[in-house]
Amino acid sequence: MAERRLLVLFGSQTGTAQDTAERIGREAKRRHLRCRVEAMDSCDVANLIHEPLVVFLCATTGQGDPPDNMKMFWRFLFRKNLPAGSLCQLDYAVLGLGDSSYPKFNFVAKKLHKRLLQLGGNPLLPVALGDDQHDLGPDAVVDPWLVALWDKILALYPLPPGLEIISSNVRLPPKYTLHYLPEGSPQPNSDLLQPTAPQAAPCELQPFAARVVSNQRVTALSHFQDVRLIEFDIAGSGITFRAGDVVMIQPQNCPEDVQQFCQLLCLEPHRRFVLEPTEPGTSLPPLLPQPCTIQYLVTHYLDISCVPRRSFFELLAYFSTNELEREKLQEFSSAQGQEELYSYCNRPRRTTLEAMWDFPHTACAIPADYLLDLIPRIRPRAFSIASSMLARPERMQILVAVVRYKTRLRKPRRGLCSTWLASLNPEQGDVRVPLWVKKGGMKFPADPATPVIMIGPGTGVAPFRAAIQERVALGCGGNCLFFGCRHKSKDFYCQTEWEELVTKGLLTLFTAFSRDQEEKVYVQHRIRENGRLVWELLSSGNAHVYLAG
């Protein structure tokens, strides 16, 4: 009998595709299939020729681009020299997760499906296209598609004699077991943020712990929004960047939330543990030291401030000893309960920690072994770099708007990363932030004679500050900036810097202060007013136009 094994590969940017991939992994276990769930870039693509059965899940980002963790896979798969029949042994299915309000809706999934066909793969089902815009979100497509998928898979790989599908009432074992170490055992230094000289350029698995040099508020205290210009010291990191590049920052939870979480789940923050995979072949989570403390796990790894997904409530229901709580959790994890879940979680942006407060009997019954199955890891955040290495060689600056807004919940919502960054005070000692750099999507012209029109309202001006600093250092003229904000006196970022460049004849600046007069004026009004100049730069100067929000 053919080996009953399944490989589930995902390309995920925000975690939705990964969450669905893990759901398929759990459903495969219930059907007694040997199943691996991996990011596409973690799998050796050349081995696809030995795989009998693969499910691909992929999100589409930006303008029809593949997510970061499937870029290498994507490049390999589209190599011209791959033979046409190379995947003829492969049965596969593709599920796309996208948003139909974008022009290139699920472009990556459609293109992947087509390419697998070209290479001789046998599709079990037509490509499925989940849509964020649907009232029930992607699940409206995912749920029926999965039913059809398991029918096809079980027809090809029937259950072995004497085995039945494990009922959904039975809780599956956790991915890892958490072994507490005896209280007095020697304590290694498990701080990952030691500023070591990196072997290679810093990356997600080896970030550089950059020292915060300054953290300055650049909006007036009377302005509703707190915006920071933060500077990092990157000397000795091996990091290089150009205008348009992006810095990735790995944030952490605030101490109050960590304390509340430990209290609610009856966890001892200073207890040390080691993780052991339940199944051989499962790799340990990267970026978690071994041994590790509960405090470190909750502060640096578990995303307790994210909005919980359906799978969170599904797993939580297994631990519930309280009938009322269990019924509610089961409703939230059912297909019929998705609208109510959306109103409870997504609309008000309720966090995982807040949801746990609403289910106190269940929360204190969660076994520590299941923490990593229950709560996703904290994802890095991307910021446009707002300075040039040519102007400040061993420094890097970012412009950060601190995210804070109201929903129907009593407590204002706060952005995890921006709130943490704003709280860092370099005057209180050596404050460090784990970061690495990624190539950005904006490329500025190589020819110094090519003029550049930059439209950057609000913090959207950040990459253009880097570009203007770089271009001025290289002696490029033709720098034209349209900047917009609410008030000249309150949120005109980098005002002195721009005015000095204008005086020196190195910058043409147009400003729109929307609230400084009776009728609102935005950057588009200034562009229209200066239409002749803009057209001249475009038609005879071959200007490049850049827009950032």
- pLDDT, tens digit, for every residue of 397-419? 999 999 999 999 999 999 999 99
Grade residue 1 by pLDDT with cuts at 50, 70 and 90: low
Give the ranges where 122-243 is alpha helix by DSSP (H). Answer: 139-156
Summarize the confidence of residues 316-328 as an average pLDDT.
Answer: 97
Give the ranges where 226-358 is alpha helix by DSSP (H). Answer: 255-264, 294-296, 310-319, 323-332, 338-341, 352-358
pLDDT score of 536 more than 90: yes
Write the class of the CATH domain 452-547.
Answer: alpha beta
* Overall fold of domain 255-374: NADPH-cytochrome p450 Reductase; Chain A, domain 3 (1.20.990)
Summarize the confidence of residues 464-487 as an average pLDDT.
Answer: 96
Q: How far apart are CA 138 and CA 119, in angstroms?
A: 28
Q: So what's the pLDDT on residue 189?
A: 55
Q: How far apart are CA 234 and CA 254, in angstroms?
A: 24
For residue 237, the number of C-alpha atoms closer than 13 Å in the C-beta half-sphere is: 27
* The pair of three-digit structure tokens given for residue 172, joined into one six-digit string: 């599956």
Strands 128-131, 246-249: pairing kind: unpaired
Q: Domain extents for the chain?
A: 5-156, 208-250+380-438, 255-374, 452-547
pLDDT score of 89 more than 50: yes
pLDDT score of 190 more than 50: no
Q: How far apart are CA 452 and CA 546, in angstroms?
A: 8
Say what the pTM is: 0.91
Q: So what's the pLDDT on residue 195?
A: 46
Q: So what's the pLDDT on residue 113?
A: 97
Grade residue 441 by pLDDT with cuts at 50, 70 and 90: confident
Residues 104, 110, 111, 112, Cα dihedral to 10°: 130
Please give the single-letter amino acid code of residue 314: E
Q: Name the residue among 65, 83, 89 with its Cα closest to residue 75.
A: 65
Q: So what's the pLDDT on residue 199?
A: 64
**Residue 229 phi/psi, 5° resolution?**
-105, 115
Summarize the confidence of residues 494-513 as an average pLDDT.
Answer: 97
Q: Considering the domain 208-250+380-438 in this protein, what is its CATH number?
A: 2.40.30.10
Residue 134: which residues within 8 A CB-CB, separation 6 or more? Answer: 140, 141
Grade residue 61 by pLDDT with cuts at 50, 70 and 90: confident
Mean pLDDT for the chain overall: 94
Q: So what's the pLDDT on residue 62?
A: 80
Summarize the confidence of residues 239-247 as an average pLDDT.
Answer: 97
5-156 and 255-374, same CATH topology: no
pLDDT score of 28 more than 90: yes
Strands 292-293, 272-277: pairing kind: antiparallel
3-state secondary structure of 214: strand
Neighbours of 3 (CB within 10 A): 9
Q: How far apart are CA 222 and CA 336, in angstroms?
A: 47
pLDDT score of 187 more than 80: no
pLDDT score of 366 more than 90: yes
Summarize the confidence of residues 534-541 as an average pLDDT.
Answer: 95
Q: So what's the pLDDT on residue 334?
A: 92
pLDDT score of 479 more than 90: yes
Q: So what's the pLDDT on residue 185?
A: 73
Residue 110: which residues within 8 A CB-CB, separation 6 or more? Answer: 96, 127, 129
Greater confidence (256 vs 191) lies with 256
* The pair of three-digit structure tokens given for residue 278, joined into one six-digit string: 């339940």
CA 534, distance to chain mean position in Å, is 36
Greater confidence (279 vs 174) lies with 174
What kind and span of H or E run contains 119? none
The CA radius of gyration of the chain, in Å to the nearest whole number, is 26
Residue 49: which residues within 8 A CB-CB, separation 6 or more? Answer: 86, 87, 89, 90
CA 218, distance to chain mean position in Å, is 27
Write the class of the CATH domain 5-156.
Answer: alpha beta
pLDDT score of 152 more than 90: yes
Summarize the confidence of residues 438-461 as an average pLDDT.
Answer: 94
Between the alpha carbon of residue 538 and those of residues 192, 212, 214, 545, the distances in Å are: 50, 41, 39, 8
Between the alpha carbon of residue 196 and those of residues 114, 208, 209, 210, 275, the distances in Å are: 45, 8, 8, 10, 25
Q: How far apart are CA 318 and CA 272, in angstroms?
A: 26
For residue range 91-146, what is the model confidence (pLDDT) as tens digits? 999 999 999 999 999 999 999 999 999 999 999 999 999 999 988 789 899 999 99
pLDDT score of 280 more than 90: no
Q: So what's the pLDDT on residue 454?
A: 98
